[in-house]
Amino acid sequence: MTVQLPRKELFDIPAGVIYLDGNSLGPLPATVSAHVTDVIEHQWGAQLIRAWNESDWMGQPARVGDRIARLIGAPAGSVVMGDTLSIKVYQALAASLELRPDRRIILSDTGNFPTDLYMAEGLLRTLDGDHELRVVDPENVEHCIDESVAVVMLTQVDYRSGRLHDMQRLTALTQEAGAISLWDLAHSAGALPVELTATQCEFAVGCTYKYLNGGPGSPAFIYVRPDLIQRIQPALSGWMGHDAPFAFEPDYRPAPSVQRMRVGTPPVIQMSALEAALDAWEGVDMQAIRAASIALSERFILEVDQRCPALTLASPRDPQSRGSQVSFTCQHGYAIMQALIAQGVIGDFRAPNIIRFGITPLYLDETDIISAVDILQEVLDNERWKQPQFQVKREVT
Amino acid sequence: MTVQLPRKELFDIPAGVIYLDGNSLGPLPATVSAHVTDVIEHQWGAQLIRAWNESDWMGQPARVGDRIARLIGAPAGSVVMGDTLSIKVYQALAASLELRPDRRIILSDTGNFPTDLYMAEGLLRTLDGDHELRVVDPENVEHCIDESVAVVMLTQVDYRSGRLHDMQRLTALTQEAGAISLWDLAHSAGALPVELTATQCEFAVGCTYKYLNGGPGSPAFIYVRPDLIQRIQPALSGWMGHDAPFAFEPDYRPAPSVQRMRVGTPPVIQMSALEAALDAWEGVDMQAIRAASIALSERFILEVDQRCPALTLASPRDPQSRGSQVSFTCQHGYAIMQALIAQGVIGDFRAPNIIRFGITPLYLDETDIISAVDILQEVLDNERWKQPQFQVKREVT
C-alpha cells in the first residue's frame, strides 16, 4: 500500500512557517515527543538497566538500520546505526584502504561536504604518510579514476548546488579501475531513490537528521556490501562491534555481521527519536517522492525565474541532474535569507553567496511553494533584506 | 552551599526497587523527561534550524563539558562532550602517540575495560605496525613504566572489582619516565573526587551514563590538559572541531581550544537529558559523596560478611583502595543476581562469577543497604536462585 503525499498531518510544523530547510534539519514528526517520553519514563525510568534486554536497546542500531535499508535499496542486515557521519566516513575509508593495500590515493571532489575531506586528512595523517587525498572538480572525477586510486569517496548530492552525481555510472567506472566506491548519502537518503544493491558500491554512509527527520544529532548509518563484511577489520574496534560484547574478552573479535561497524554504547534516547520519525516513511514509495520533488522544484524554479530576477539558479537546470534542493546565487544572500526567515520562509545560506531551499514532498505541497515565492518576491521587491537586523551574522548560518 | 545527601527526591526510582546498578546505568533524574520534551517541542519543533543559534545547540558540548569539569577537578574550557567513550579513547591515544613519536608502547592493564584495549588494537593496526599494546596485571603497571612507553592508559576504577588505582602516584611515575598519562574515568566521574589539575595527567576520558545519570548512551567527555591543546592534531578531524565549521573551508584547521576534540554533529536531544541530569550535582561536594560512599560500602560489606557466607569479597577490603562499588565472587552468581533483581534489588553480574553493587550516595541511604542485604540473605538462605527462570541467560548481563 502506497500512501498519498504530502503527509503534513504527521509533522508538527509551526503555524506561519513554510519549511524549506529539511535538507539541513528535518522538522519534528508528530509522534516523536511522546515516544521519547515513553523511552525515558517507561524504559529507562521503570526498567532501568533491564531495558537493555526488555526493551531491546541492544538491538536498536540494527533494527533502525533495517528500516533505513529499505529507503536506500539495501537488504536487511546490511546497515547499522551509530555515531556521526564523520565517524562513519572514517570507518569506511579506513576499511577501503585496507581492502586495497597496494594503492595510495583517496579520490574525492570539491563538491564533497568538508567533514568528509577533513576526516580523510586525519586518517591519512594517522596512517604511514604514503597516502594522498586527491580532490578534483566534480566534473573531472571520472577522468581521474585510474588504477592508482584505492577509493573514490563522493557525496552524491552537492550540499551547495544540489548537483547529483550519476552513482551507477561512477561506481561502475570505479570498479572497472579496481577501486572501492564509497558514497555519502547525506543529501540522498529520504530525498530520492537510491539503489545500493543495484549499484554494487562497497560502502555508503549517511546522516538521518536531514530528509529522514530524526532530529538534531540523530545518529548516522553505514552500509557495507554484504559479501565484504567478513573481510573488514574495523579501525574503530569498539566493544559494541565485538562478537560477544558481554563476554569481556581481552582481544577484539569482530561480530560476523555489519554489527562490527558499531563502536560504543548507542545513544538510545537520541535514536528513539529517529525510530519514531521513521514511521512517517512507512508505505512511502521513493519513486513517488522523487516525482513530487521534481514537480515542486520545477515549479519553484519557474516562479523564481519569472518573478525574482536578482536570483540566479545555482542548481542544475535539468531535474535529473539535481537532488532534492534548489539553490540560487545572489548578492546579499545572507541578509535576504534572514529577511525570508523573519517572514516564516525558512531556507538557509551557504557561504559565500548561496541560498538553499530543500524540497521535501513529505510535508510540502504546491501551495507552499507558491507562497514561498510570493514572500521571496516581496522581500526582494521591497528590499526588506536591507533592514539592519538582517545583516548580523550568527554562528550557524 | 553544600547540599545534604541523599537527594532521593531528585530521582524517579520505581517503588520497591533498591537500585545498586548506578555504576552501570544511573537512574532517571526527575527533571529529565520534562527538559527533553521542552528541547524536542520548543526548540527542535518550534525553532527548527534556528535552534542551533537561538537555543545555543552549538555551545552545548562545551557548556556541558564545563559542568563535568567541576566534578573532576578540571578548569572550565578543558573538557568537551561528544561521541562515545570508545571514540574518546581513540582520540586521546592517537594524540598521545603523536606527542611521543619516538616511542612505541601503549601500556595498559588487565583491569581496563575491554573497549579501551580494543580501540587501542584498532589504532595500532591503522598505524604503521611498529607499535605495541602491552597489557599487564594492575599491580605490575608501575614496574613496567619505562622510557620505551609512549602512553600509560588506565581505567582508574576496575569495572569488575572496584579496585582503585593511585592516580596521582602512577601519573607521577609515568611522567618521570617521559610518557603520557591517559586516564579513563568511567567509574570515577561522579563516584569519587578526581583532581585532574592537581594530578597533571595529560588526558582523561569518561562516560556519563553511570554515576552521572545522563541516560542510556549519554555522550562521553574528554579532558585535555590546557597547555597541550594547541599541540594536538586530532586524528578524528571532523567539521565540528574545525576553527570555523560554517566557513566550509577545504582543509581542516583545528579550533584553538579543546573544541578541536569535537568530531561530528552533537547528539542534541541525548545531551539534553544529560544536561538536566547534571542539575542533581549542583552544590554537591565530592568529598561528601566519597565519605558517604565509604560509609555505605563498609556497612554493606559488614552485613554481607556476617549474613551471606556464600559470597566472597572481590573488592579491596581497604576502602581507600576501592571505588564506589562492591563486588563479590560466588558460584551461581548469574542466577543469584537474577533472583535478586526479581525481588527489586538491582545490581549486575560480570562473567565469569562476579556480582556487583554500585554505591551511589546521591540516592541511596543506609536503610537501602540493610534492606538489600536482607533480601540477598533471603535469596541465598532459601535458595531462591535455583528457580528455573533465573537460569536463562540474556544478552546483556
- Which residues lie across from B221 on neighbouring strands? B81, B206
Minimum distance, in Å, between the CA of residue A73 and any CA atom of chain B: 26
Q: What was the pLDDT predicted at A335?
A: 96
Of A298, A275, A283, A217, the residue nearest A70 (C-alpha)? A283
Residue A137 is a catalytic residue: no
Query: What pLDDT band is residue B397 in, cutting at 50, 70 and 90?
Result: low
Q: Which of B114, B251, B269 sits opposite A250 (nearest CB)?
A: B114
* 3-class DSSP assignment, residue A29: strand
In this prediction, residues B95-118 reach a mean pLDDT of 97
Do residue A36 and residue B32 have CB atoms under 8 angstroms apart? no
Percent of chain A with pLDDT over 90: 95
- Which residues, at least 6 apart from A380, have a Cβ–Cβ distance to it below 8 Å? A308, A310, A311, A336
pLDDT over 90 at A162, yes or no: yes
Residue A19 is a catalytic residue: no
Query: What pLDDT band is residue B216 in, cutting at 50, 70 and 90?
Result: very high
Minimum distance, in Å, between the CA of residue B13 and any CA atom of chain A: 7
Residue B163 is a catalytic residue: no
Do residue A87 and residue B125 have CB atoms under 8 angstroms apart? no
CA torsion angle A325 A158 B81 B268 (round to 10) = 10
d(CA B303, CA B307): 6
**pLDDT tens for each residue of A281-301:** 999 999 999 999 999 999 999
A63's grid cell: 533494527
The residues spanned by each domain of chain A are 8-30+285-390, 32-281
A300's grid cell: 519553484
* 3-class DSSP assignment, residue B171: helix
Q: Which of A236, A269, A346 sits opposite B122 (nearest CB)?
A: A236
Do residue B265 and residue A94 have CB atoms under 8 angstroms apart? no
Do residue B238 and residue A119 have CB atoms under 8 angstroms apart? yes
Predicted model pTM:
0.97
Q: Which of B19, B21, B396 sits opposite A246 (nearest CB)?
A: B396
pLDDT over 60 at B340, yes or no: yes
**Residue of B163, B210, B225, B262 marked catalytic:** B210
Do residue A235 and residue B125 have CB atoms under 8 angstroms apart? yes
Q: What was the pLDDT predicted at A220?
A: 98
d(CA B276, CA B22): 17
In this prediction, residues A39-68 reach a mean pLDDT of 97
CA angle B238, B239, B244 (to 5 degrees): 140
Write the DSSP symbol of residue A164: B
**pLDDT tens for each residue of B46-79:** 999 999 999 999 999 999 999 999 999 999 999 9
Do residue A217 and residue B83 have CB atoms under 8 angstroms apart? no
Residue of chain B whose alpha carbon sits nearest to that of A41? B33
Helix (H) or strand (E) holding B259: none
State the Rg of chain A over Cα: 22
Minimum distance, in Å, between the CA of residue A382 and any CA atom of chain B: 24
pLDDT over 90 at A395, yes or no: no
Q: What was the pLDDT predicted at B128?
A: 73
CA angle A73, A74, A76 (to 5 degrees): 130
d(CA A373, CA B259): 39
Residue B252 is a catalytic residue: no
pLDDT over 80 at A99, yes or no: yes
Do residue B123 and residue A41 have CB atoms under 8 angstroms apart? no
pLDDT over 90 at A320, yes or no: yes
Residue of chain A whose alpha carbon sits nearest to that of B130? A128
CA angle A69, A74, A77 (to 5 degrees): 70
pLDDT over 60 at B31, yes or no: yes
**pLDDT tens for each residue of A205-248:** 999 999 999 999 999 999 999 999 999 999 999 999 999 999 99
**Residue of B109, B356, B357, B363 marked catalytic:** B356
* CB atoms inside a 10 Å sphere around CB B6: 18
CATH entry, B32-281, from 3.40.640.10, 3.40.50.720, 3.20.20.140, 3.40.50.970: 3.40.640.10
CA torsion angle A142 A147 A152 A156 (round to 10) = 30
Q: If you count residue pairs, one on A and one on B, with CB atoms under 8 Å apart, how many are there?
A: 284
Do residue B264 and residue A84 have CB atoms under 8 angstroms apart? yes
pLDDT over 80 at A377, yes or no: yes
pLDDT over 80 at B395, yes or no: no
Do residue A84 and residue B45 have CB atoms under 8 angstroms apart? no
pLDDT over 60 at B2, yes or no: yes
Minimum distance, in Å, between the CA of residue A395 and any CA atom of chain B: 7
Q: Which ipTM score applies to this complex?
A: 0.97
Query: What pLDDT band is residue A2 in, cutting at 50, 70 and 90?
Result: confident
In this prediction, residues B127-146 reach a mean pLDDT of 95
pLDDT over 90 at A352, yes or no: no
Q: How many residues in total does chain B contain?
A: 397
**pLDDT tens for each residue of B241-276:** 999 999 999 999 999 999 999 999 999 999 999 999
d(CA B381, CA A84): 50
Do residue B126 and residue A94 have CB atoms under 8 angstroms apart? yes
Minimum distance, in Å, between the CA of residue B120 and any CA atom of chain A: 8
pLDDT over 90 at A62, yes or no: yes
d(CA B151, CA A340): 53
Q: Which of A36, A242, A268 sits opposite B118 (nearest CB)?
A: A242
Q: What was the pLDDT predicted at A128?
A: 73
Do residue A48 and residue B246 have CB atoms under 8 angstroms apart? no
Percent of chain B with pLDDT over 90: 95
Q: Which residues of A touch B209 (CB under 8 A)?
A: 265
Q: Which residues of B touch A266 (CB under 8 A)?
A: 216-217
Q: Which residues of A80-101 are buried (b: 16+ CB within 10 A; e: fewer)?
A: bbbbbbbbbbbbbbbbbbbbee
**Residue of B109, B184, B348, B368 marked catalytic:** B184
In this prediction, residues A55-76 reach a mean pLDDT of 98
DSSP A98-129: HH-TT--EEEEETTS-HHHHHHHHHHHHHTTS
Do residue A269 and residue B217 have CB atoms under 8 angstroms apart? yes
Of B169, B200, B164, B196, the residue nearest B72 (C-alpha)? B196
In this prediction, residues A365-383 reach a mean pLDDT of 98
Q: Which of B36, B83, B122 sits opposite A237 (nearest CB)?
A: B122
Q: What was the pLDDT predicted at A95?
A: 98
CA torsion angle A79 A84 A90 A93 (round to 10) = 40
> Do the domains at B8-30+285-390 and B32-281 have one common CATH topology?
no
B291's grid cell: 565519605
Minimum distance, in Å, between the CA of residue B211 and any CA atom of chain A: 13
d(CA A190, CA A62): 18
Q: Which of B14, B220, B242 sits opposite A46 (nearest CB)?
A: B14
In this prediction, residues A32-55 reach a mean pLDDT of 97
Q: Which residues of B touch A11 (CB under 8 A)?
A: none
Query: What pLDDT band is residue A396 in, cutting at 50, 70 and 90?
Result: low
Q: What was the pLDDT predicted at B1?
A: 62
Q: Answer for the pair B5, B361: CB distance below 8 angstroms, yes or no.
A: yes
Q: What was the pLDDT predicted at A392?
A: 85
Q: Which residues of A touch B271 (CB under 8 A)?
A: 217
Q: Which residues of A touch B235 (CB under 8 A)?
A: 122-123, 125-126
Query: What pLDDT band is residue B393 in, cutting at 50, 70 and 90?
Result: confident
Mean pLDDT of chain B: 96
Q: Which residues of A touch B124 (CB under 8 A)?
A: none
Write the DSSP symbol of residue A177: T
Query: What pLDDT band is residue A351 in, cutting at 50, 70 and 90?
Result: confident
Architecture in CATH for domain A8-30+285-390: Alpha-Beta Complex (3.90)
**Residue of A21, A83, A116, A184 marked catalytic:** A184
In this prediction, residues A317-337 reach a mean pLDDT of 97
* 3-class DSSP assignment, residue B362: coil
**pLDDT tens for each residue of B344-364:** 999 999 888 999 999 999 999
Residue A393 is a catalytic residue: no
What sign results for the dihedral spanned by CA atoms A345, A350, A355, A358? negative
d(CA A348, CA A195): 29
Q: Which of A114, A122, A267 sits opposite B267 (nearest CB)?
A: A267
Minimum distance, in Å, between the CA of residue B302 and any CA atom of chain A: 26
